[in-house]
Amino acid sequence: MIKSTLKEQLHPRNRFRAGYDFRLLIAGSPALAAFVARNTYGDESIDYANPEAVKALNQALLKHSYGLHTWDTPRGYLCPPIPGRSDYLHHLADLLAGDKAEIPRGRSVTVLDIGMGANCIYPLIGSSEYGWRFVGSEIDPVALRWARKLVAANRAVAGLIDCRMQTSPAECFKGVIKPGEGFDLSMCNPPFHASAEEAAAGSRRKLRHLGGKQTRATVLNFGGKAAELWCRGGEMAFVQRMITQSAELPRLCRWFTTLVSKSTHLPRLRQSLREVKAADIKTIEMAQGQKKSRILAWTFMEPINLRSDKARGDSLN
């Protein structure tokens, strides 16, 4: 059994805060055993620069902790770190709870995941952990088909997740939302980079940090597809567009949220939110190891309505 120190940066409800028990993980997912070895500290671990090892670990974690027996990603698409992805959802649960002690659970809570990806990781974890209902949007037809396959294969959550095609890359909400539909939360892990070259450089830096051998195939496998990694103007432009579009549909969600990878973007983004007259703006810090990120959250609802009134949706006609 691995003797890991407590990962105090992770959310208190994070199932992986105490590290991984590889003995238990391998018992439920024997394929993981081929990738586990002692590291330089004498602890059991995997080579995080090996995409197949990371995928095997993810499959074992999702099966053991969430009962998700079927999970995979197509070659070349992002393979996300499970602890960090679950942290976003735990912080959203706290955001919804507000000053109440009880965390909202069950299918009455509805969440929109903008750009869910082929891995469909937020809907799968969120529906398993909290019983929430999800609508996931995706502009990539291959990723959409893969996500739908994952949902159908995990019957315990299949009835809680609706995967929808977004035909316009410029739209965050219109095109996937049905008239009169409303959500408690929206969430997004936006493309960080402004170009394919910048995204490739980021993948190479990641591999250097992990100490892995950089072959072209490995970089591509870690790199992710274009829509997952970059867009014109990068993260700043994407989130600015989301802010503008949220102001056009202010009652669509009780809370609009997105990850922001670069803290230097926050002042400008918060100014944009003040300009569209957001009623409240919050920044929630997150960290996993040396990687730091934050959630930017905003609402157009006044506090009395935010506590008592579920989002009713805006007319999309």
All structural domains of the chain: 1-66 (no CATH), 72-191+231-308 (3.40.50.150)
Contact yes or no for 6/17 (Cβ under 8 A): yes
Asked if 84 and 48 count as a contact pair (C-beta separation under 8 A), the reply is: no
Report pLDDT for 7. Answer: 79
Helices (H) and strands (E) in the chain, counts: 12, 9
Length of the chain as a residue count: 317
Average pLDDT (101-120) is 96
Q: Check: CB of residue 236 under 8 Å from CB of residue 168.
A: no
Q: Output the pLDDT for position 195.
A: 46
Is the confidence at residue 81, as pLDDT, over 80? yes
Q: Residue 234: its pLDDT value, please? A: 83
Look-up of token digits 């974690």: 61
Q: What is the pTM of this model?
A: 0.87
**Nearest CA-CA partner of 159 in 109, 107, 111, 89:** 107
Return the structure tokens found at 38.
């002692």
pLDDT of 287 higher than 90: no
The distance of Cα 259 from the centroid of its chain, to the nearest Å, equals: 8
Position 101 confidence tier, pLDDT thresholds 50, 70, 90: confident
Q: What pLDDT, on a 0 to 100 scale, did the predictor assign at position 253?
A: 98
Mean pLDDT of the chain: 87
123-127, 209-213, 251-255: which range is least confident on average? Answer: 209-213
Q: Is it the case that residue 197 has pLDDT exceeding 70?
A: no
| DSSP-assigned beta bridge partners for residue 253 | 183
Q: Would you say residue 192 has pLDDT above 70?
A: no
Q: Do 294 and 259 meet the contact criterion of CB atoms below 8 Å apart?
A: yes
Q: DSSP E strands: which ranges in the chain?
A: 37-38, 44-45, 110-114, 133-138, 161-165, 183-188, 253-260, 280-288, 291-299
pLDDT surpasses 70 at 88: yes
Dihedrals φ, ψ of 186, to 5°? Answer: -120, 150
Q: Is 285 helix (H, G, I), strand (E, B) or coil?
A: strand
Q: Which of 312, 185, 301, 196 lies closest to 247, judged by CA?
A: 301
> In the chain, what percentage of residues exceed pLDDT 70?
81
Rounded to whole angstroms, the Cα distance separating 314 from 312 reads 7
Question: pLDDT tens digits for 232-248?
Answer: 768 999 999 999 999 99
